[in-house]
């Protein structure tokens, strides 16, 4: 007779399978070329690992059945402890899988480097050398997303649009705490960090409305830190731009400082004009024009005569500034704490 606990396990398993059947596996069926390649890596890596996992599970069951206590026909060899053939089989197969996974990871890491410009529209179409990317500056705020289109002079909160088959160049930063910019249908996630500008190259190949969000916990409003990504044709993108340009709101430095204040569940907001070099000022923590930019403080440090710093008392130019400036390249990040010293 089947126990009530076993019935409970079966019901839980059935419920889980039913819920998973309704999931949209967007990461394995994306609409962007970069995300499609990443999805292929997941599938290939899984299949390679299953080459070991499946035989091990099957052999475990076979051995348990063959050498069960009630099977008196099974050979009994208590003195047996070694077999060169079995050792070679047991170690060679996983070693080959690890080598294959290592090669796959190395190639994929360089091919899908987010800092690397795209060379193809999709698997069958190369990208023209003359093709100009769409530049988008992304700022993770508490708890909303700001998208600045520097070439078009507009900005939008919690909505993003790009034309199909046009490469996109994202520059990403954050205003306070670290977040992670992630549109599963487009490309893998990339971190948004204060005082640092990271980069992501991507392209969308099919029109549609997709979900973007923060994949890194960042506080009370994190769960609602979502936005819409619209993949549209050229005409649809022009109409979207005109809708933003028609807004009478301007994203001045003062307006940004007000927008930067924590808020949750923000509706889409459009700005028809943007202050010059606003993104650069956000990265360098000097949107407030009364503050000295981190870039300038670093330049002061770089020109200070060596050996004199230890004999002087450090003074903070920006009270409360606790950001550490990191190198925004692909190498290991080196941290610099900016400060200047009295004569």
Summarised one tens digit per residue, pLDDT across range 325-336 is 443 333 333 333
- Most confidently modeled range among 35-49, 237-251, 313-327: 237-251
Lowest-pLDDT range, 9-23, 71-85, 136-150, 324-338? 324-338
> How many whole angstroms separate alpha carbon 60 and alpha carbon 145?
51
Per the structure block, which two tokens stand in for 69? 């206590």
The pLDDT value recorded for residue 166 is 94
Residue 243 in this model has a pLDDT that exceeds 60: yes
Residue 319 in this model has a pLDDT that exceeds 60: no
> How many whole angstroms separate alpha carbon 188 and alpha carbon 180?
10
Q: What angle do CA 29, 30, 35 make, to 5 degrees?
A: 120
For residues 243 and 173, membership in a common domain is answered with yes
- DSSP lists the bridge partners of residue 190 as 181
Residue 337 in this model has a pLDDT that exceeds 70: no
Q: What is the 3-state secondary structure (H, E, C) of 221-269?
A: CHHHCEEEEEEECHHHHHHHHHHHHCCCCEECHHHHHHHCCCCCCCCCE
> How many whole angstroms separate alpha carbon 122 and alpha carbon 36?
9
CATH (domain of 241) = 2.60.40.420
For residues 240 and 181, membership in a common domain is answered with yes
For residues 164 and 238, membership in a common domain is answered with yes
The pLDDT value recorded for residue 316 is 44
Is residue 305 included in any domain, yes or no?
A: yes
Residue 39 — pLDDT band, cuts 50, 70, 90? confident
For residues 136 and 238, membership in a common domain is answered with yes
| Rounded mean pLDDT, 67-82 | 83
The pLDDT value recorded for residue 334 is 36
The pLDDT value recorded for residue 13 is 52
- H or E element in which residue 59 lies: helix 33-66
Is residue 276 included in any domain, yes or no?
A: yes
Is residue 141 included in any domain, yes or no?
A: yes
For residues 277 and 225, membership in a common domain is answered with yes
For residues 180 and 317, membership in a common domain is answered with no
The pLDDT value recorded for residue 312 is 43
Total structural domains within the chain: 3
pTM: 0.74
For residues 108 and 248, membership in a common domain is answered with no
For residues 168 and 252, membership in a common domain is answered with yes
For residues 221 and 131, membership in a common domain is answered with yes
Comparing CA positions, the residue from 315, 310, 306 lying closest to residue 338 is 315
Is residue 309 included in any domain, yes or no?
A: yes
For residues 237 and 144, membership in a common domain is answered with yes
Q: Are strands 226-232 and 159-163 parallel, antiparallel or unpaired?
A: parallel
| Average pLDDT value over all residues in the chain | 82
pLDDT in tens, 194-218: 999 999 999 999 999 999 999 988 8
pLDDT in tens, 98-125: 999 899 889 888 888 899 989 889 888 8
- H or E element in which residue 227 lies: strand 226-232
Domain that holds residue 144: 125-283
Is residue 129 included in any domain, yes or no?
A: yes
Lowest-pLDDT range, 246-255, 286-295, 333-342? 333-342
Is residue 139 included in any domain, yes or no?
A: yes
The pLDDT value recorded for residue 41 is 87
% of the chain surpassing 90 pLDDT: 45
Per the structure block, which two tokens stand in for 242? 């005109």
Residue 56 in this model has a pLDDT that exceeds 60: yes
| Rounded mean pLDDT, 224-245 | 95
For residues 137 and 213, membership in a common domain is answered with yes
Residue 52 — pLDDT band, cuts 50, 70, 90? confident
For residues 159 and 266, membership in a common domain is answered with yes
């Amino acid at each position: 007779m089947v126990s009530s606990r076993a019935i409970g396990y079966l019901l839980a398993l059935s419920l889980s399978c039913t819920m998973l059947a309704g999931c949209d596996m967007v990461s394995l069926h994306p609409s962007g070329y970069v995300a499609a390649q990443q999805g292929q890596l997941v599938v290939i890596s899984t299949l390679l690992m299953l080459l070991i996992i499946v035989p091990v599970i099957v052999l475990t069951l076979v051995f348990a059945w063959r050498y069960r206590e009630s099977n008196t026909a099974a050979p009994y060899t208590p003195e047996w402890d070694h077999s060169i053939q079995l050792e070679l089989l047991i170690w060679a197969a996983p070693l080959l899988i690890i080598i294959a996974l290592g090669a796959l990871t190395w190639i994929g890491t360089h091919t899908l480097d987010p800092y690397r410009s795209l060379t193809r529209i999709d698997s069958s179409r190369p990208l023209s050398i003359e093709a100009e990317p769409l530049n988008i500056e992304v700022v993770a705020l508490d708890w909303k997303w700001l998208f600045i289109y520097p070439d078009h002079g507009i900005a939008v909160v919690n909505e993003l649009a790009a034309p199909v088959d046009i490469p996109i160049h994202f520059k990403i930063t954050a205003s306070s705490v670290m977040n992670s910019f992630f549109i599963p249908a487009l490309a893998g996630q990339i971190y948004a960090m204060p005082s640092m500008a990271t980069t992501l190259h991507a392209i969308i190949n099919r029109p549609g409305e997709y979900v973007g969000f923060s994949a890194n916990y960042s506080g009370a409003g994190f769960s609602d830190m979502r936005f819409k990504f619209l993949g549209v044709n050229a005409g649809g993108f022009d109409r979207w731009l005109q809708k933003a340009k028609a807004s009478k709101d301007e994203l001045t430095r003062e307006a940004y400082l007000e927008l930067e204040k924590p808020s949750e569940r923000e509706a889409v907001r459009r700005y028809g004009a943007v202050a010059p070099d606003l993104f650069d000022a956000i990265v360098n923590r000097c949107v407030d024009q009364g503050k000295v930019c981190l870039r300038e403080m670093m330049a002061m440090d770089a020109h200070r005569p060596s050996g004199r710093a230890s004999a002087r008392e450090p003074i903070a130019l920006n009270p409360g500034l606790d950001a550490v400036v990191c190198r925004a390249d692909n190498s290991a990040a080196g941290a610099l704490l900016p400060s200047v010293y009295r004569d």
